[in-house]
Every structure is written in structure tokens, then in C-alpha cells.
Amino acid sequence: MGLTPTPSQTVGPFFHLGCTGPASVGSLVTDATKGERIRLSCRVLDGDGAPVADAMIEIWQANAEGRYNHPEDIQHKALDPDFTGFGRLATGDNGRCSFTTIKPGRVPGNGGTMQAPHINISVFARGVLKRLATRVYFAGNPANADDPVLSLVPAERRATLLAQKDTTHPTEWQFDIRLCGDNETVFFDV
């Protein structure tokens, strides 16, 4: 008889202890932050499609001009002193967390290309011993068609990287992160 792991087998729930609560960063903006304000709602699901209530999500993104708040980003674009580009939240019982941020600008890619606006995401969750790295792009953005990273993903899997606009709240975007199973989110080996 062989043993088959199931989505309910866990290693923790300890991933966000000490990293969230007082250390949570759910709003990346102030009243003075430049750019189009959005709310990004992330939902983490296990292989059975059940919400993962003890995950932690970190996001990292460029500002509205397309520049990261990092010393290695030496572009001649303005830094926004009211935007750090980093957020961190634990998921709730429904597997969700929501960030208030801005739509990022395009950033350079390899070989003089430009990447479509995107947000980098790290997922820490039960049963995951090493962070999972992915990206969220915005469905319907014409720049997605020529993004050098998105074009590396097989066409039938690209939808797993697209946030969908909420039809009832025009500034809200929904993004599901499926850890495994049907429609598993594309994760990158970085």
C-alpha cells in the first residue's frame, strides 16, 4: 500500500507568526502617493480548492512611473517618497487578504524590452517549505501581449497570472493563487 499526500497535510501554521500582526503592511499608499489607486484582493487555495487560512502574502512592485524603491534600480525615473512598493499580509479564514496600492508602471526587461505592469508575489503557506514566487498581471492590459516574462509561460497557463477586474468595484482586482491541482498558478524558480 502506498501513501499519497493530500492537500490537508501540513507542516505548520507558523509562517506568518511574528511577520504579520504589528508587522503587517496592507496599504502601500498615502494620500500623497502618485498613481492610480487599486485594491488587490488575493485568495490562496489548496489542491482541493479550499481556502488556506494561514498563508502569508508579500508583494513587491514598482511605482506608477515604473521604478522600484531599491538602490539597484538606477533608472532616470522619479522615486515616489510616499510609496515603498512592499506589502505583507496574512490570509484570513476565507483565504483572502487585500492590499491597497497603485497600478505599477512598466519596468525594463532584458534586451531593451519593456515588461507589462505587474506585481511580484511571494507565497508562504502550510506545506510549502520554500516560498513560492509568482507575478500578477492585469487582465486586458495591451502590454501583456509583448511582456517578455509572460511570453515564456505556455499560452494555456497564462490566465493563472492574470488578476480580474471586479465588475462591481472598478478599482478592485481579484487574484486567485492555487497552490496545486487544476489551474495551479504558475510559479517561477527565482
Residue 37 is placed in which grid cell? 489607486
Kindly state whether residue 109 falls inside one of the protein's structural domains.
yes
Q: Specify the long-range contacts of residues 10-18, CB closer than 8 Å, at least 24 apart.
A: 10/126, 10/127, 11/126, 11/127, 11/128, 11/129, 12/54, 12/126, 13/53, 13/54, 13/126, 15/54, 15/55, 15/56, 15/124, 15/125, 15/126, 15/128, 16/54, 16/55, 16/56, 16/90, 16/124
Provide the pLDDT confidence category of residue 117 given band limits of 50, 70 and 90: very high
Best CA proximity match to 141, nearest among 103, 174, 190: 103
**Contact between 105 and 158 (Cβ < 8 Å):** no
Kindly state whether residue 52 falls inside one of the protein's structural domains.
yes
In angstroms, rounded to a whole number, what is the distance separating the alpha carbons of residues 115 and 107? 5
In angstroms, rounded to a whole number, what is the distance separating the alpha carbons of residues 6 and 183? 17
In angstroms, rounded to a whole number, what is the distance separating the alpha carbons of residues 103 and 65? 10
What average pLDDT does range 128-134 have in this prediction? 89
Kindly state whether residue 124 falls inside one of the protein's structural domains.
yes
Q: Which of 4-8, 49-53, 147-151 shows the lowest per-residue confidence on average (mean pLDDT)?
A: 4-8
Count: domains in the chain: 1
Q: Which residue shows C-alpha cell 495551479?
A: 184
What average pLDDT does range 167-190 have in this prediction? 94
Kindly state whether residue 108 falls inside one of the protein's structural domains.
yes
- The reported pTM is 0.89
**Any idea what the CATH number is for the domain that residue 78 is in?**
2.60.130.10
pLDDT digits (tens, 9 = 90+) for 59-90: 999 999 999 999 999 999 999 999 999 999 99
Provide the pLDDT confidence category of residue 10 given band limits of 50, 70 and 90: very low
Mean pLDDT of the chain: 90
Best CA proximity match to 122, nearest among 112, 132, 113: 132
Domain range enclosing 144: 25-178
Kindly state whether residue 65 falls inside one of the protein's structural domains.
yes
Kindly state whether residue 70 falls inside one of the protein's structural domains.
yes
Task: Provide the pLDDT for residue 183.
Answer: 92
Task: Provide the pLDDT for residue 6.
Answer: 56
What average pLDDT does range 159-178 have in this prediction? 96
Kindly state whether residue 14 falls inside one of the protein's structural domains.
no
Kindly state whether residue 186 falls inside one of the protein's structural domains.
no
